[in-house]
Structure 1
Amino acid sequence: MDIFVVILQAVVVIGAIVMGVRTGGLGLGLWGVVGTAILVFGFHLPPGAIPIDAFFIIIAVITASSAMQAAGGIDYLVAIASKIIQANPKRLTYVAPIVAFVFTVLAGTSNIYFALIPIIYETAYRNGQRPERALASSTVTSALGITASPVSAAMAAYLVLMDGTGFGLPQILAITIPASLVACVVTSVVQQRLGKELVDDPKFRKRVEEGAVEVPPVLQAEYAAATGSTATATAGAGDSAGTGLGEAPAATATATPPPPTSSKADRIEHPVPKGGATAAWIFLSGTFLIVLFGLFSGLRPSFPNEDGDLVPIGMSTVIEMVMFSAALVIILVRKVKPSVVVEQPLLKAGFVAAVALFGIAWMADTFISANEETIIAPLGAFIEQQPIMLAVALFLVAGLTTSQSATTNTLIPIALAAGLGPGVITAMWPSLVGVWLFPANGSQIAAVETDLTGSTKLTQVPIWHSFTIPMLVSWVAVVGAGLLVQLFISA
Structure 2
Amino acid sequence: METVLFVTQLLVVLGCIVMGTRSSGVALGLWGGTGVAILVFVFRLPPGSPPVDALLIVLAVVLASSMMQAAGGIDWMVSIAAKLIARNPKQITLVAPLVSFVFSVGAGTSNILYPLLPVIQDLSYRNGIRPSRPLSLSVVATGVALACSPVSAAMAAMVTLTDTAPWNFELIDILKVTIPAAVVGIVVSSFVVNRLGKDIADDPDIQAKIASGEIPAPQADAQQVQAQVTVTSSGRNAALIFLTGVAVIVAFGLFTGIRPLDAAGDPISMTPIIEIVMFVAGTVILLVSRPKVAEIPTMTVFRAGMVSAIALFGLAWLTDTFLAAHTEVIADGVGSLVAAVPWIFALGVFLVCVLTTSQSTATRTIVPIGLAAGIPLGLLSGMWAGAFAGIYLLPTNGSQIAAANFDTSGSTRLGSKLVDHSFFVPTLVLAASTIAAGALFGVLWGG
For Structure 1 versus Structure 2, the TM-score category normalised by the shorter chain is over 0.9
Provide, for residues 363-394 of structure 1, a one-character-per-residue CA deviation record: whole Å limited to 9, x for no partner.
Answer: 00001111223333210011011111111111
Report 1:49-128 matches (<5 A): 49-128=49-128
Contact 1:82–1:270 at 8 Å: present in 2 too? no
Q: Deviations over 1:112-144 (max 9, x none)?
A: 011111110011122221101110111111111
Q: Equivalent residue of 2:413, what SS?
A: coil
Residue deviations 1:184-207 (CA, integer Å, cap 9, x gap): 111111111221111211221233
The equivalent of 1:280 in structure 2 is 239
Task: Within 5 Å, give how 1:329-478 maps onto structure 2.
Answer: 329-430=284-385, 431-478=387-434
Which AA in structure 2 matches 1:171?
D
- CA distances 1:161-196 after superposition (whole Å, capped 9, x unpaired): 102212111111100011111111111111112211
**What is the deviation of 1:463?**
2.8
TM-score by length of 1: 0.88
Partner amino acid, structure 2, of 1:192: N
1:32/1:363 contact within 8 Å kept: yes
Separation in 2, partners of 1:88, 1:453:
21
SS at match of 1:336: coil
8 A contact 1:368–1:376 mirrored in 2: no
The question of 1:311 aligning with 2:266 is answered yes
* Gap change, CA 1:53 and 1:5, over 3 Å in 2: same
User: Which range moves more in the overlay, 45-54 or 342-351?
Assistant: 342-351
Q: What per-residue deviation string (whole Å, max 9, x for no partner) do you get for residues 141-167 of structure 1?
A: 111110000100000000011022121
Q: Give distance in 2, aligned partners of 1:343 and 1:81.
A: 24
Matched, 1:3 2:3: yes
Structure 2 residue runs of 5 or longer lacking an equivalent are none
AA aligned to 2:193 is: Q
Q: Tell me which amino acid in the other structure corresponds to 1:417.
A: A
**1:292 equivalent in alignment to 2:251:** yes
- CA change 1:127–1:382 in 2 (3 A) is same
In the TM superposition, residue 57 of structure 1 has moved relative to its aligned partner by 0.3
Measure the CA separation in 1 of the matches of 2:227 and 2:105.
24
Amino acid of the structure 1 residue aligned with 2:202: D
Q: CA deviation at 1:6?
A: 1.9
The 3-state SS of whatever aligns with 2:154 is helix
Aligned AA (2:12)? V
Aligned length: 444
The separation in 1 between residues aligned to 2:130 and 2:200, in whole angstroms, is 5
Deviations 1:289-345 (A, max 9, x none): 00000101111111233xxxx211111100000101111111111122321222211
State the Cα deviation string for residues 420-471 of structure 1 (Å, max 9, x = none): 1111111111112111111110111111111121111122221332111111
Residue 78 of structure 1 aligns with an amino acid whose one-letter code is V
Q: 2:224, 2:51 → 1: CA distance?
A: 51
Q: Deviations over 1:385-421 (max 9, x none)?
A: 1111111111111111111000100111011111111
Are the aligned partners of 2:330 and 2:372 in contact in 1 as well (CA < 8 Å)? no
Task: Supply the AA of the counterpart residue of 1:338.
Answer: V
Distance (Å, rounded) in 2 between the aligned partners of 1:318 and 1:268: 34
- SS at 1:312's partner residue? coil
Q: Is the 8 A contact 2:260 2:268 kept in 1?
A: yes
Secondary structure of 2:394's aligned partner:
coil
Change (3 A) 1:267 1:151: closer
Match of 1:201 in 2: 203
> Amino acid of the residue matched to residue 245 of structure 2?
G
The equivalent position to 1:479 in structure 2, one of 428, 435, 444, is 435
Single out whichever of 462-471 and 169-178 deviates more from structure 2: 462-471
Aligned CA distance change for structure 1 residues 371 and 267 (closer, same or farther; 3 Å): closer
* Distance across 2 between alignment mates of 1:461 and 1:436: 15
Shift of residue 271, structure 1, vs aligned partner: 2.3
Counterpart of 2:215 in structure 1 is 213
Per-residue deviation at 1:268? Answer: 4.9
Tell me the C-alpha RMSD between the 2 structures.
1.4
AA paired with 2:293? P
CA contact under 8 A between 1:301 and 1:313: conserved in structure 2?
Answer: yes
Alignment-mate amino acid for residue 196 of structure 2: L
- In structure 1, C-alpha distance between the alignment counterparts of 2:445 and 2:109, rounded to whole Å: 26
Q: How far apart are residue 92 of structure 1 and its match? A: 0.8
Counterpart AA for 1:317: P
* Cα shift at 1:211: 4.5
**Residues of 2 paired with 1:269 and 1:208: CA distance?**
25
Aligned to 2:22: 22
Matched residue type, 2:109:
T
Partner of 1:232: none
Question: 1 or 2, which has the higher helix percentage?
Answer: 2
Q: CA deviation at 1:212?
A: 3.5
Distance 1:337 1:266, change over 3 A: closer
Q: Deviations over 1:37-79 (max 9, x none)?
A: 1111111110001100000100100100000000000000000
CA distance in 2, matches of 1:108, 1:267: 23
Kept after mapping to 2: 8 A contact 1:391/1:428: yes
